[in-house]
Structure 1
């Protein structure tokens, strides 16, 4: 059964490639022809030249051979057997189709002719870059200029000649050029620098040069730059000289140690960071070693040659403040000591920080005049530059050079300099505005801070500066100064009252005057030395009992006394005026007893505490009068003693 199926299939295949022709298998010949690639189905390949004679038996023609499936027989012609999914493509099939035309008579081969069909090329393909020529493009930064650094390769399936060019729109094209267009070799035009650029990009074109179509194709090339050992190590942080010059300026490392806290084997902490360096060739990153070049007199310091850690091994003698030790540190490559760099290290030995910075006032007042100038200095009401400075008692002159000033929060309208001068952006200020700013002074070494308030008034151009505000600022600079004045005045008043009380108490406890002392009587005379003390007068102290008029001490006709006349002495101020004078501004009288002559014949004395005197009445009796800033009526009852405060 299987054999029958195979036989049937074979017959069907023979019938598909065979064709019955009436005639003899004579007169045939080999067929040599050509066809253009991409030709459609049914395209005539060739005609069959076998002729049929009259009365001849039928013969059968068959197409056989390697490419027989590309043809089929139609009558006495051979046609192309292609389709939409089966295109005659020279680049796929090749340039030649081979087949045989076989003639059978009674299933016996009578003749066999070759069919050779050349496929004509058509420009139907674009160039194509070989991926292996575009991948892993690496160039050392030490590559020489004008040398061939890499090559690219593109192919065209149609066999067309290809030229190469670079797209000028790419910024990195300036580093390369192509000298021979059809070679694909790229030449270096400018030196490379790994530290500035680690990779470059190019757009490369491959274009047909011998066709009308000029088919082309592009590819983006990424070129990695390999680092070369051409850079010296540098210390961190790196501050570039400029954007165009990628060279680092080595920092100055600073550290502060206290004379009180100089421990042995102490690791020093530096600013702006630890002593650290790196190889300038970051792609290579060679190992580095550190050492102290100079400045370590006495071997007080030791440096870790691998990490750069600096230690203080023993205390530093400090003859005076401040003191600074300067060290020079070197770092170099382990494999090439000629590639090195140096940096400066400053170790400052400071005294113990005992006091924080402080402003001399809590509020500063000033003004600024609005104008079109971008910046102006804030002034005081005395037309002087407003300078906000904090003092530090740790310094003899109070000036700490490490105090930095700043506004908190930062202001877009004002800026404070490191000298404490306030600058305002006058072109952005509005007239009659008032700004209250907080200025902070920070000791960069200890971290301690002090703050003050600055009250700035924006004046109009041409407006007069208020003088009253200046006087107020001078007399009462702030709340603290006013409070100090009040406290001082209160203390002074208490001291004066205390001394007054002591004097009164001592006067009352003093012994009475001798009654045999002479009493001077006379009109318009000033009494220099009279009888009892003024503090023992019955008019002032009635509790001591009535005065006896017959007593010698009370008589106005005593012994002869001593008199003094002062015609040119001015009248003392009236007690009424003394009551109106403030306690702090009361005039001080230099004479212990200023003499005042009265028309009634009495003598009044002004002492430092009030009005003291003797008055002679018409009945011949002497009456002592005394008062502290008040008038005492000689006929009336004695007024109570009140100190004039």
Structure 2
């Protein structure tokens, strides 16, 4: 026994109306039920129809909602989200009356519209300096005294039900303290004229068709930056198919050929001061020579990009020059080391040749001396036998070992004499003037022996 899927009777014989599911007051406030009735006797049945009117009432289950807000349904519950409020005051000046806020005056409503409970407002935090006060009934904020510091203040406002303080909500009011503006924005021209040819192509200046049309407004409060106020924004009144980006005009939708009379507005978002100028745009299908001018976000133009490119090009050239010099020096250094190595090898080979020549020369001298002795005339056999005995008794010593045997006399080089030796040693003075050449050759041979221990130059002594 369901009636419109929302209600049902307890039983066919018990006319108690029961709610079958939860009802949303925001969607259903009244329900009309047409209910048929049947009475059955032993032999006869009677029927009739009745109408039941059901009124839905709201319950207190939602907090206050600050306005304006955006509703969201989360798991069957409705939540209304508010972005908060913003306002501005002038440094050392007290605002009279109600403080203007964006997006509108501060107020809240009861989330349960069927109850619409009365709300009260108060500051929860942020008003420690007591600069502001809030009306507890309306939520309007006013100033008690002027702000003397450039800062941004954040006020937290609480809205709660008067009879049920457990139902409440909070929001944030951001107040910025600014320096007073002495000049309003102003356009460089009272009227601008341009030509539009296609969608996405910037408008060209009608007086100079080779240059794009640039809308620019200045502010004398910013003389340090040449009058450029970063807070100025532009908008166009009169057509939604034409937009302005960084002062350049574009057509966002294809339009028929015509001349449009529009108005361009420059607004200082820091204080809401604005200025207007007339804009005449001629829409035509004739394609003009439109320069490819791209204005990046941030206000940099083609001249800035060209200067940056030139600077980077110079730096790149300097880097290439430095790298080239380093490579040249490295190659030159390798060549020098190769030459030094070749010279060292050449000097070693020359020394080796000199030592070998000295050894050969000394061997030749020794051989010639021996042959000369054998060629001397023999006067008598006695003399020959005496010479033979002398040759047997006196022999050259070709070793550094000292011998104390009779018939031997040894000669050592000066550097080989042991200073602690007890034997009697006679040092023969050197004759440098007569034997300088031989001494040089001998020294070169010794140096080569030290460098090449495998080659030994024999030392000879003759008696």
* Contact kept in structure 2, 1:205 and 1:216, CA below 8 Å: no
The answer on 1:279 being equivalent to 2:110 is: yes
Bigger proportion of residues as helix: 2
Q: 2:6 aligns with which of 172, 175, 189?
A: 175
Structural RMSD (CA): 3.9
Cα deviation for residue 325 of structure 1 reads: 1.3
State the partner residue of 1:379. 203
For the residues of structure 2 that align with 1:433 and 1:276, how far apart are their CA atoms? 47
2: CA distance, partners of 1:420 / 1:330: 43
> Please, which of 121, 129, 137 is the counterpart of residue 298 of structure 1?
129
Task: Specify which of 213, 216, 221 is matched with residue 394 of structure 1.
Answer: 221
Aligned to 2:236: 406
Which residue matches 2:34?
204
Residue 253 (structure 1) aligned to one of 74, 78, 85:
85
Q: Residues 165 and 358 of structure 1: is their aligned pair in 2 closer, same or farther, counting only changes over 3 Å? A: same
List per-residue Cα deviations over 1:10-32 (Å, max 9, x = no partner). Answer: xxxxxxxxxxxxxxxxxxxxxxx
2:310 matches 1:454: no
Equivalent residue of 1:230, what SS? coil
Could you say which structure has the greater relative contact order, defined with CA pairs below 8 angstroms and 6 or more residues apart?
2
Structure 2 residue aligned with 1:369: 197
Say if 1:327 and 1:467 are closer, same or farther in 2 by CA, change over 3 A: closer
Displacement after TM superposition at 1:258 (Å): 1.5
Q: Distance in 2 between matches of 1:377 and 1:268?
A: 44
Deviations 1:580-615 (A, max 9, x none): xxxxxxxxxxxxxxxxxxxxxxxxxxxxxxxxxxxx
Q: Give the structure-1-normalised TM-score.
A: 0.38
Q: Distance in 2 between matches of 1:249 and 1:385?
A: 44
Compare the two structures and name the one with the higher strand fraction: 1
Distance in 2 of aligned mates of 1:389 and 1:217? 81
Q: Which residue, 212, 229, 232 being the options, matches 2:60?
A: 229
1:192 aligns with one of 14, 23, 26: 23
Provide the secondary structure at the position in 2 that maps to 1:254.
Answer: strand
Question: Structure 1 residue 465: deviation in Å?
Answer: 0.6
* Aligned residue among 317, 320, 323 for 2:148: 317
Which 5+ residue runs of structure 1 have no aligned equivalent?
A: 1-163, 167-172, 471-645
Q: Following TM superposition, by how much is the alpha carbon of 1:359 offset from its aligned partner in structure 2, in angstroms? A: 1.8
From 260, 264, 273, the equivalent of 1:435 is 260
**By how many angstroms is 1:282 displaced?**
3.0
Figure out how many residues of one structure are paired with residues of the other and give that number. Answer: 284
Q: Give the CA deviation at 1:207.
A: 4.7
TM-score, reference length from structure 2 = 0.51
> Structure 1 residues 226, 385: closer, same or farther in 2, change over 3 A?
farther
Residue 354 (structure 1) aligns with = 182
Say whether residues 1:240 and 2:71 are aligned partners.
yes
**SS at 1:394 equivalent:** helix
Q: Secondary structure at the match of 2:288?
A: coil
Shift of 1:357: 1.3
Corresponding position of 2:325: none
Structure 1 Cα separation of the partners of residues 18 and 272 of structure 2:
59
Match of 1:465 among 288, 292, 297: 288
Query: Mind listing any 5+ residue stretches in structure 2 that lack a counterpart?
Result: 294-463
Matched position secondary structure for 1:240: strand
Once the 2 structures are TM-superposed, how far is the Cα of residue 245 of structure 1 from its aligned partner?
6.9
CA radius of gyration, larger in: 1
The separation in 1 between residues aligned to 2:6 and 2:143, in whole angstroms, is 52
